C-alpha cells in the first residue's frame, strides 16, 4: 500500500484528501505544519507528496526544493495542490521539482488518476 504525505495548513482540505485517498486504498498521512514536514517525512518515508503552495514558512515552493535536495526524496513524486492558478506559479513549482500541478477546487477523479500514474 503506497503511503502519501499530505502537507497543507488547511485542516478541512487535508481531511477531505485523507478521505479520498484512503477510500482509494492508499495510506494517507497528514501534517498541517510545513515547518515540520521535512523531518516528519524522514520518519515515515512516503511514496508520494501532496503539497499546498500557500503555507507559512516554508511555503510549498521552498518545501518542494528542500525535498528535492534531500537524497531520500530527490526522486519522490510531488503533486502540487493549490488555489494559485497562474502560469508563473506553475513554472516556479515545476522549477522547484514538482511532478504535477492541480488547482483547487480539483476534480477527485483527476487527482486519483494522477496519483495512480505517478505511483505506477
pLDDT of amino acid 25: 97
> Residue 14, class by beta-carbon neighbours within 10 Å (0-12 exposed, 13-18 middle, 19+ buried)?
buried
pTM (predicted TM-score)? 0.96
CATH 3.40.50.2300, domain 3-119, yes or no: yes
> 35: phi > 0 → left, psi -120 to 50 → alpha, else beta; which?
alpha
pLDDT of amino acid 82: 95
pLDDT of amino acid 93: 98
Radius of gyration of the chain (CA): 13
Number of H helices, E strands in the chain: 5, 5
Pairwise CA distance, residues 82 & 60, whole Å: 9
Mark the ranges of the chain whose per-residue pLDDT is less than 50. none
pLDDT 10s digits, 51-85: 999 999 999 999 999 999 999 999 999 999 999 99
The grid cell for 109 is: 477523479
Amino acid at each position: 500500500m503506497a503511503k502519501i504525505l499530505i502537507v497543507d495548513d488547511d485542516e478541512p482540505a487535508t481531511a477531505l484528501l485523507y478521505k479520498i485517498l484512503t477510500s482509494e486504498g492508499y495510506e494517507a498521512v497528514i501534517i498541517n505544519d510545513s515547518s515540520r514536514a521535512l523531518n516528519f517525512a524522514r520518519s515515515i518515508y512516503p511514496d508520494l507528496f501532496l503539497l499546498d503552495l500557500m503555507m507559512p514558512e516554508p511555503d510549498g515552493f521552498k518545501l518542494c526544493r528542500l525535498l528535492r535536495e534531500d537524497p531520500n526524496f530527490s526522486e519522490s513524486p510531488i503533486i502540487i495542490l493549490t488555489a494559485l492558478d497562474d502560469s508563473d506559479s506553475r513554472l516556479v513549482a515545476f522549477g522547484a521539482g514538482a511532478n504535477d500541478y492541480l488547482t483547487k477546487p480539483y476534480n477527485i477523479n483527476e487527482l486519483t488518476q494522477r496519483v495512480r500514474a505517478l505511483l505506477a
